[in-house]
Amino acid sequence: MRINWRVNKMNLPVILGLLGKLLVIYAGAMCIPLTLAVVLGEWSVYSFLLSIIIIGIPGFFLMRRFKLTEMKFGVREAFAAVTGAWLLASFTGALPYWFADVVPTYIDALFETVSGLTTTGASVISDVEALPQSILLWRSLTHWVGGLGIIVLFIVLLPKTGMGSVLLFNAEVPGPTNDRVMPRIRDTAAALWKIYLIFTAICAVLLWMAGMSFLDALNHAFATIATGGFSTKNTSIMYYNSLTIEMIVAFFMIFSGANFVIYLTVWRKKTMKAFRNTELMVYLLIIIAATLLIAGSLWSNAGNSPGYAFRHALFQVASIMTTTGYASVDFDQWPSMTKIILFLLMFIGGSAGSTSGGMKVSRIILLVKATWAELKRGIHPRVVSSIKLDDKVIDTENLSRVGIFFFLYIVTFTGASIIVAASTGLSPFEAMSAVAATLGNVGPGFGTVGPTTTFAGISLLGKIVLTVCMLLGRLEFFTLLIIFRPEFWGKGKVW
């Protein structure tokens, strides 16, 4: 029997082959918590076994049926593959939670998985300390796998990489970077994973030495380097009440919120010049400025010692700016002004090419530069000035894309806030913070969804909307939204 696999000229076999491979890799990843469950004799061993069977068998057959001998595909296939991979990873990654019965509904399991993969770290599980260690490890692993991106992993494992992998890379890696299209993209992807792995290991060892248990250190390292924010403790990092742990975590959060391409360049070219990067400088300046503002407010308003004020201001700014979402203190009790600053940081986010969420610092820089140039044009209408970032001219096409991204971000934020407020009992600011925290892949918001509480009490509709927000934020809108264009389905003009 011969089936026509080309729907509206889309190359379906290559997408199905890719998704099959993804399922097999995913089943393989689940063997890690499975092993832990076996070693510790946890009952969750069955939920992992069942999930691996359900995911692995169809994955194996898809992979065999649609061999990826060569990736011949275009833009549509790239978008379809990335969207499909994220949705599939989300729906299947939810199975262990659901089978282990640690969440009330499948939607909750899905929320937790998407929150993990998108490195959001918002949780619907109120008592995480009651979870089996294997489930906690799976939870942190979703952060780690999602952090650098499922597709980047993909590329490393592909047999032949042509234009297809470049397209995949473009659709996946966040931020408006010009360094995206690289000649040897497979090597780059592999090198990124190496850096990622090494720093996760260093972070884990340091946290272990600082007093965490081995498993806690591993979990927190996964969640920190991925700027995820899932903790194995109900009260997050404040459980430890340790300055050492806070400073280790703060360092690695700030590290992970910077562009990984910088580290790659430093590593490859053995030069420190790559650190002379505008986005990195602005990113660090914002952290310093926000820390000083908040520390000042905490010191003067709440009668805290300057040391205490600075310590928690720095940790919380690093945590929110890098969109990790850990809490060293219940910042929901802080003064109004500090909350608005943290709220703002949720929108800015970290750097392009990092594991963080939000709009990304480089986009804000470009928008500020474009604004300044526009004011100049108001006086000299005929003067055309080009906008540069690190000596690279940014063309108008990329600039308008940044502006549109900004608009989409704000519109999505507003629309989702209305639905969340309508479908839950949240106050306007709580609802807006819940949306900002999920859209920016931060995790905790304020009030009912604050640092010491969870998203468990949110309505079903609210959870679904916030789940979509997490995916939209992680895939930066275009990848997900492009499937709504008629051209995507081959109904527009053929190209």
Q: Which of 341, 361, 434, 458 binds its own copies (CB under 8 A)?
A: 341
CB of residue 337 vs K ion: minimum separation in angstroms? 23
Contacts of 70 (CB under 8 A, 6+ apart): 159, 160, 162
Select from K ion, its own copies, none the partner in contact with residue 229, using the beta carbon and a kind-dependent cut-off of 5 to 8 Å.
K ion
**Mask: binding to its own copies, 362-401, rule CB under 8 A, as x and -?**
-----x--xx--xxx-xxxxxx------------x--xxx
Closest to 90 measured CA to CA, from 112, 68, 59, 60? 112
Q: Which of 109, 141, 168, 431 binds its own copies (CB under 8 A)?
A: 431
By CB under 8 A, tell whether 407 contacts its own copies: yes
Structure tokens at 253: 């959060």
Residues in the chain: 495
Q: How far apart are CA 218 and CA 341, in angstroms?
A: 31
Structure tokens at 244: 């050492």
Q: Which of 2, 270, 273, 493 binds its own copies (CB under 8 A)?
A: 493
Closest to 442 measured CA to CA, from 348, 370, 328? 348
By CB under 5 A, tell whether 443 contacts K ion: yes
Residue 269: how many other CB atoms lie within 10 Å: 10
Q: What is the dihedral of CA 212, 218, 221, 222, to 10 degrees?
A: -150
Locus of tokens 């400088």: 281
Locus of tokens 């971000």: 409
By CB under 8 A, tell whether 340 contacts its own copies: yes
Q: How far apart are CA 170 and CA 352, in angstroms?
A: 12
Q: Which amino acid is at 50?
A: L
By CB under 8 A, tell whether 432 contacts its own copies: yes
Q: Is 177 annotated as a binding residue?
A: no
Stretch that binds K ion, among 154-162, 225-233, 373-381, 415-423 (CB under 5 A): 225-233
**Helix 106-117 to helix 75-93 angle, to the nearest 10 degrees?**
130
By CB under 5 A, tell whether 229 contacts K ion: yes
Secondary element (H or E) of residue 148? helix 133-148
CB of residue 42 vs its own copies: minimum separation in angstroms? 41
CB of residue 287 vs its own copies: minimum separation in angstroms? 16
CB of residue 206 vs its own copies: minimum separation in angstroms? 34
Q: Is 277 annotated as a binding residue?
A: no
Select from its own copies, K ion, none the partner in contact with residue 443, using the beta carbon and a kind-dependent cut-off of 5 to 8 Å.
K ion
Q: Is 355 annotated as a binding residue?
A: no
Q: Is 323 annotated as a binding residue?
A: yes
3-class secondary-structure state, position 312: helix
Select from K ion, its own copies, none the partner in contact with residue 322, using the beta carbon and a kind-dependent cut-off of 5 to 8 Å.
none
Q: How far apart are the first and last CA of the chain?
A: 30
Residue whose CB is less far from its own copies, 113 or 424: 424
Q: Is 188 annotated as a binding residue?
A: no
Stretch that binds K ion, among 102-110, 285-293, 311-319, 324-332 (CB under 5 A): 324-332
By CB under 8 A, tell whether 410 contacts its own copies: yes
Contacts of 249 (CB under 8 A, 6+ apart): 207, 220, 224, 237, 315, 326
**Mask: binding to its own copies, 58-87, rule CB under 8 A, as x and -?**
-----------------xx--x--------
Residue whose CB is less far from K ion, 324 or 467: 324
Structure tokens at 47: 């939920």
Residue 127: how many other CB atoms lie within 10 Å: 10
Select from its own copies, K ion, none the partner in contact with residue 159, using the beta carbon and a kind-dependent cut-off of 5 to 8 Å.
none
Q: Is 92 annotated as a binding residue?
A: no
Q: How far apart are CA 204 and CA 332, in angstroms?
A: 28
Closest to 259 measured CA to CA, from 327, 181, 339, 355? 355
**Mask: binding to K ion, 19-58, rule CB under 5 A, as x and -?**
----------------------------------------
Q: How far apart are CA 102 and CA 113, in angstroms?
A: 13
Q: How far apart are CA 229 and CA 2, in angstroms?
A: 48
Q: Is 120 annotated as a binding residue?
A: yes
Q: Which of 343, 346, 350, 434 binds its own copies (CB under 8 A)?
A: 343
Residue whose CB is less far from K ion, 119 or 417: 119
Closest to 433 measured CA to CA, from 460, 453, 407? 453
3-class secondary-structure state, position 125: coil
Residues at the binding site for K(+) are: 119-120, 228, 323-324, 441-442
Residues at the binding site are: 119-120, 228, 323-324, 441-442
Q: Which residues bind K ion (CB under 5 A)?
A: 119-121, 229, 323-325, 443
Q: Which residues bind its own copies (CB under 8 A)?
A: 75-76, 79, 297, 335-337, 339-341, 343-344, 347, 367, 370-371, 374-376, 378-383, 396, 399-401, 403-404, 406-408, 410, 414, 417-418, 421-422, 425-429, 431-432, 446, 478, 481-482, 484-485, 487-488, 492-493, 495
